A and B are shown apart, each in its own frame.
Chain A
Amino acid sequence: EPEVTQTPSHQVTQMGQEVILRCVPISNHLYFYWYRQILGQKVEFLVSFYNNEISEKSEIFDDQFSVERPDGSNFTLKIRSTKLEDSAMYFCASRTETYGYTFGSGTRLTVV
């Protein structure tokens, strides 16, 4: 069964450093998403991406965040200058035209 692949599974970074989280969505999917879950909190929507541009973003997704689909297969989330409160599990998801997200297994980001 097709999967959404996320790498790395765990990333530790120092506060203020840039971090890039990588995702390979399912190949025929057109819509891409990032969600995150801070420990003990709800899974929150960050951003959606379609046709090479952001289609929707939440208030969490400020200027420190950016997304890119650099090569037609990868979908990346960049955090420019990480803060302690960015520590969370970050989930990538993709879907086709119809409903039904497929989520990746997540990247646990720890900012120290």
Chain B
Amino acid sequence: GEDVEQSLFLSVREGDSSVINCTYTDSSSTYLYWYKQEPGAGLQLLTYIFSNMDMKQDQRLTVLLNKKDKHLSLRIADTQTGDSAIYFCAESRSGYSTLTFGKGTMLLVSP
């Protein structure tokens, strides 16, 4: 079945860039997502990319997709302490099919 893998933990200093990586196995994945979960909060959609794109930029966030290697990354520029959260990579075959999530990467930003 489909699988999504992420590293579990990343620690950066405030002002640095953070890069969170994700790999997936389903070659039929069409939509790839990044969700953010702050303590006690729900899953907040940060950004998404279609499989026919290789990059998407949205303010401080840059998503890179290497479809050949099934590798997705999320870069956060000028990381702030408020970016500390768990970041989930997810994929789906269509915009309305079920999501397959990774375990999440805990990002810790220190001052």
Residues on A facing B (Cβ under 8 Å): 4, 6, 9, 31, 33, 35, 40-45, 48, 56, 58, 91, 93, 95, 97-106
Closest residue of chain A to B5, judged by CB?
A42
Q: Are A42 and B42 also in contact (CB < 8 A) when A99-B48, A99-B95 are?
A: no
- B42:A104 contact, CB within 8 angstroms: yes
Taking CB as reference atom, which chain B residue is nearest A100?
Answer: B45
Instruction: Write out the residue numbers on chain B whose beta carbons fall within 8 Å of the beta carbon of A40.
Output: 103
A-B contact count (CB 8 A): 55
Determine the chain B residues whose CB is within 8 A of the CB of A99 once the complex forms: 31, 48, 92, 94-96
25 contacts between A and B (CB under 8 A): A6-B42, A9-B40, A33-B98, A40-B103, A42-B101, A42-B102, A42-B104, A43-B90, A43-B99, A45-B98, A45-B99, A45-B100, A48-B98, A56-B98, A58-B98, A91-B43, A99-B31, A99-B48, A99-B94, A100-B95, A103-B35, A103-B43, A105-B41, A105-B42, A106-B42
Which residues of A sit under 8 angstroms from B44, Cβ to Cβ?
103
Is the C-beta of B88 less than 8 angstroms from some C-beta in chain A? yes
Q: In the complex, A99→B93 CA distance in Å? A: 11
Partner of B96, one of A4, A35, A41, A95: A95
A97 and B42 contact, Cβ closer than 8 Å, known pairs A42-B101, A43-B88? no
Assembled-state Cα–Cα distance A95/B92 (Å): 14
Q: Are B95's CB and A98's CB within 8 A?
A: yes
